[in-house]
Amino acid sequence: MIVVGGGVIGLTTAVELAERGRRVRVWAREAAEHTTSAVAGGLWWPYRIEPEEQVGDWSLRSLAVYEKLAADPERTGVRMVDGVHADTGLDGLGPWAARVSGLRAATAEECAGPGLWARLPLIDMPAHLVWLRERLRAAGGAVEQRTAHRLDEALAQAPDVVNCSGLGARGLVPDDSVRPVRGQLVLVENPGLRTWYTAADPASSATTYILPQPGRLVLGGTADDGDWSLEPDPAVARAIVERCARVRPEIASARVLGHRVGLRPSRPAVRLEREPRGADGALVHNYGHGGAGVTVAWGCARAAADLVENRPAP
């Protein structure tokens, strides 16, 4: 079978299928290190994704996997790290929040205003994508650098195809409801921060997050709906650093290491659906994860694999 798409959703789905005994090939337009997934900040948290009633289960399934992977952070890229979601309360979250161990209101010392303290998976995405690719190969799967122009190309070569093409689904399906939500971030030297911080204003495209990753501090960010530009904007970068420095003043003097831009594959709701093809084959769609692809990757991979096997998704 073929999985179309080599980002975190495609690779995780391919691993799930290969470890169930399927012979899997991933068609990746580019190396995983060059996908939108590689640019992601990597903090587990349901963000900019629908439908809410299913996202919680997908997220919790993924959380359970990441908690286990965090036992070997050097290989998997997954660490459990403390931090604060500012301007967030438990009453504003779905039922899934009650099942996140240790999630609680932040103290005055932890957050200047209202917020939530949590110990969550923080994933070094470049390292994690390499690990996923190697885990797939260990399970007998393969990654091929190949661009699909139509899903029928894959269906002509395999009876079962899983479409994990992300933003590419806009033209590949085609699905006009898929649109980019542009995210820009700045990489700086870490002046010694060990905890993460986020603050997102739903009424603004500007967000603030500080994520300590190995060898760098990731500062963000933006959520520019419908913006296709992949070029870093110097003015936006300066604003990001200024916002983060208001939270942690030592960031103001941190040396800039680089700039990154990614386009989140947004959709009104994730499309996780099976289309029967031929006598025994199927086209399964698994795309539209917005800003939470990392968060739901393992939960959606399991659901997609169940659909391939023609079992009802949980």
CATH number of the domain where residue 308 is located: 3.40.50.720
Domain carrying residue 7? 1-81+121-178+268-314
Distance CA 306, CA 107 (A): 42
pLDDT of residue 56 exceeding 70: yes
pLDDT of residue 48 exceeding 90: no
Q: What is the mean pLDDT of the chain?
A: 95
pLDDT of residue 299 exceeding 80: yes
Distance CA 210, CA 262 (A): 17
Answer for the pair 218, 124: CB distance below 8 angstroms, yes or no: no
Which residue type, as a one-letter code, is found at position 115?
Answer: G
Distance CA 59, CA 229 (A): 29
pLDDT at site 138: 98
203-236 b/e with 16+ CB inside 10 Å = b?
eeebbbbbbbbeebbbbbbbbbeebeeeeebeeb
User: Which residue ranges are tagged as binding site?
Assistant: 36-37, 209, 264, 290-295
Q: Please state the rounded mean pLDDT for residues 304-309.
A: 96
Domains in the chain: how many in total? 1
Q: 184, 186, 204, 192: which is closest to 249 by C-alpha?
A: 192
Q: What is residue 43's DSSP assignment? A: B
Query: Domain for residue 72, yes or no?
Result: yes
User: Which residue ranges are tagged as binding site for FAD?
Assistant: 36-37, 290-295
Instruction: Average the pLDDT over each of 10-14, 28-32, 111-115, 199-203 and give the range with the smallest value.
Output: 199-203
pLDDT at site 290: 94
pLDDT of residue 58 exceeding 70: yes
Distance CA 267, CA 179 (A): 6
Q: Which residues are 163's β-sheet partners?
A: 4, 285
Whole-angstrom CA distances from 66 to 14, 69, 71, 241, 295 are 17, 5, 9, 29, 9
pLDDT at site 201: 74
Answer for the pair 32, 130: CB distance below 8 angstroms, yes or no: yes
pLDDT digits (tens, 9 = 90+) for 158-214: 999 999 999 999 999 999 999 999 999 999 999 999 999 999 876 678 999 999 999
pLDDT at site 112: 87
Q: Please state the rounded mean pLDDT for residues 57-83.
A: 98
Where residue 34 falls among pLDDT bands split at 50, 70, 90?
confident
Query: Domain for residue 58, yes or no?
Result: yes
Q: What is residue 139's DSSP assignment? A: T
Distance CA 291, CA 300 (A): 14
Q: 180, 172, 171: which is closest to 262 by C-alpha?
A: 180
Number of Cβ within 10 Å of residue 154's Cβ equals 22
Q: 11, 32, 64: which is closest to 295 by C-alpha?
A: 64
Instruction: Average the pLDDT over each of 39-48, 54-63, 259-268 and give the range with the smallest value.
Output: 39-48
User: Which residue ranges are tagged as binding site for D-dopa?
Assistant: 209, 264, 291
Q: 148, 177, 185: which is closest to 287 by C-alpha?
A: 177
Instruction: Average the pLDDT over each of 38-52, 148-162, 222-236, 285-299 and give the range with the smallest value.
Output: 38-52
Q: What percent of the chain has pLDDT over 90?
A: 90
pLDDT at site 313: 52
Query: Domain for residue 235, yes or no?
Result: no
Query: Domain for residue 145, yes or no?
Result: yes
